[in-house]
Amino acid sequence: MKQIRVDIDNVKAFLGQDAVTNLEHAGADALDKVMNATAEGNDFLGWVELPTETTDAHLDDIIATAEQLRADCDTVVAIGIGGSYLGAKAVIEALSSNFESLRPGVAGDPQVLFAGQNIGEDYLWELQDYLKDKRFGIIVISKSGTTTEPAIAFRLLKEQLERQLGLDEARKRIVAITDEKRGALRSLATEEGYKTFVIADNVGGRFSVLSPVGLLPIAVAGYNVRALIDGAVEMEKATAAASETNEALNYAIARNALYNAGKKIEILVNYNPKLHYFGEWWKQLYGESEGKDHKGIFPAAVDFSTDLHSMGQWIQDGERTIFETVISVEETRYEKVIPTDEANLDGLNYIAGKRIDQVNKMAELGTRLAHIDGGVPNIRISLPALEEKYLGQLIYFFEKACGISGYMLGVNPFNQPGVEAYKKNMFALLEKPGYEEATAAIKQRL
């Protein structure tokens, strides 16, 4: 069975075998907390068995809903932010052509766009302008149903859709994914009679990509969500027990050993531009899960070789508080060979006949060795190909490792109290009803 592989040998070489071995007990203990729900945050462990608990009937419903949207719409806008956005965006980008955004969508094969992930006035103006002559549909995703960014985007696009297609037609093209009972989005969806999917109470936003939150937009983009779930099921089984072959456990142990040794920043590296948003998803997963109580590895991400020409100097030679986790994709989708040129004015004939990916792999190996020489420990994750099944494995792998790692660090990986601070200030400044006292207090500070 092909599957992702994780190599932490360099961490052992860098820190010494003992630094890793000494954490094995703590790692197994943290895994036990995840598997048996014995620690703080245990009411948010619904993601642990989500892949194996995903029924065929549930997938059928998601796929049928996606097929309907695909048939009816030339463009589908997925509205959401944070965990209600990044997973779908990451998977769709990883599976799509690099130039997908240049392709006009058609009914039967719509373009998937995103909104509600920012409060950019120009972004929304330009999106609405683009949608002026489109037969579009909307997937609106918010677990709480009250998040400001997606609520603003949905208010605008709902009004536009109703104006362009009429109320009845608009209702058929809107799908809401939200809490079963609570929140403004649930009330609105019930009132309007939208098709809905539920985000389970015990699945937090950043752990929700394998629920309808990620699966519906991914299916609308035309990708195989069954294979995605199959991959996740494989990884769920492979990471259930403490063993040497539990890659999630090994990764969690390795990064905690590095953190304890003063490596406070983890840089997730890819050598494939399609993985850019995977880095964004991963940053949210680890940043929101671990960055609390004044602790936590700072998650950063780079796209190589592009960023070797911007961040390469810092990584090679800057403060030695970093380590790298490299995602390496073994097989490309297409083959492209560098041609011979008789004149050889560019001096490239020494690599003529080689595939571009061979050059990319040498860039990866050369960089890895250089960074190791420069004092940057390296974890390597190899992914057989950018295909649904392996992405499902990778997603679940990172989720499981995140739960284990957070418990090893001594935090509750499943809450995000720090996210509320900006909202409180923003609502006070906007004079939201109910925030009168906060409004008065904040005005004193201005």
Which residues are at the interface with ligand PA5 (CB under 6 A)?
81-84, 142-144, 147, 150, 204-206, 288, 416
* Cα 15 to Cα 97: distance, rounded to the nearest angstrom: 40
Q: Which of 406, 327, 419 is nearest to 84 (CA)?
A: 419
Q: Which of 65, 8, 14 is nearest to 262 (CA)?
A: 14
| 289 contacts 400 by C-beta, under 8 angstroms | no
Q: Which of 105, 124, 55 is nearest to 220 (CA)?
A: 105
> Of these residues, 309, 319, 342, 437, which one is catalytic?
309
Count CA atoms closer than 13 A to 60's CA, side-chain side.
3
| 105 contacts 164 by C-beta, under 8 angstroms | no
Q: Tell the residue number behind the tokens 């197994």, with chain if given.
A: 28
| 229 contacts 47 by C-beta, under 8 angstroms | no
**Burial, 369: exposed, middle or buried (Cβ in 10 Å; 0-12, 13-18, 19+)?**
exposed
Is the CB of 182 or the CB of 355 nearer to ligand PA5?
182
Q: CB-based contacts of 4: which residues, under 8 Å, 6+ apart?
A: 235, 247, 381, 382, 383, 384, 390, 393, 394, 397
Is the CB of 82 or the CB of 296 nearer to ligand PA5?
82
Is the CB of 27 or the CB of 83 nearer to ligand PA5?
83
> Of these residues, 181, 237, 423, 424, which one is catalytic?
423
Residue 268's H or E segment, with its range, is strand 265-270
Torsion of CA 356, 357, 362, 364, to 10 degrees: 120
Is the CB of 325 or the CB of 416 nearer to ligand PA5?
416
The amino acid at 126: E
The answer to whether residue 364 is catalytic is no
* Cα 429 to Cα 427: distance, rounded to the nearest angstrom: 5
The answer to whether residue 100 is catalytic is no
Is the CB of 51 or the CB of 183 nearer to ligand PA5?
183
Is the CB of 82 or the CB of 137 nearer to ligand PA5?
82
> Of these residues, 288, 324, 387, 388, which one is catalytic?
288
Count CA atoms closer than 13 A to 167's CA, side-chain side.
3
Is the CB of 83 or the CB of 105 nearer to ligand PA5?
83
Give the CB-nearest residue to ligand PA5: 205
* Cα 216 to Cα 223: distance, rounded to the nearest angstrom: 10
The answer to whether residue 423 is catalytic is yes
Please provide the size of the chain in residues. Answer: 446
**Burial, 3: exposed, middle or buried (Cβ in 10 Å; 0-12, 13-18, 19+)?**
middle
List active site positions. 288, 309, 423
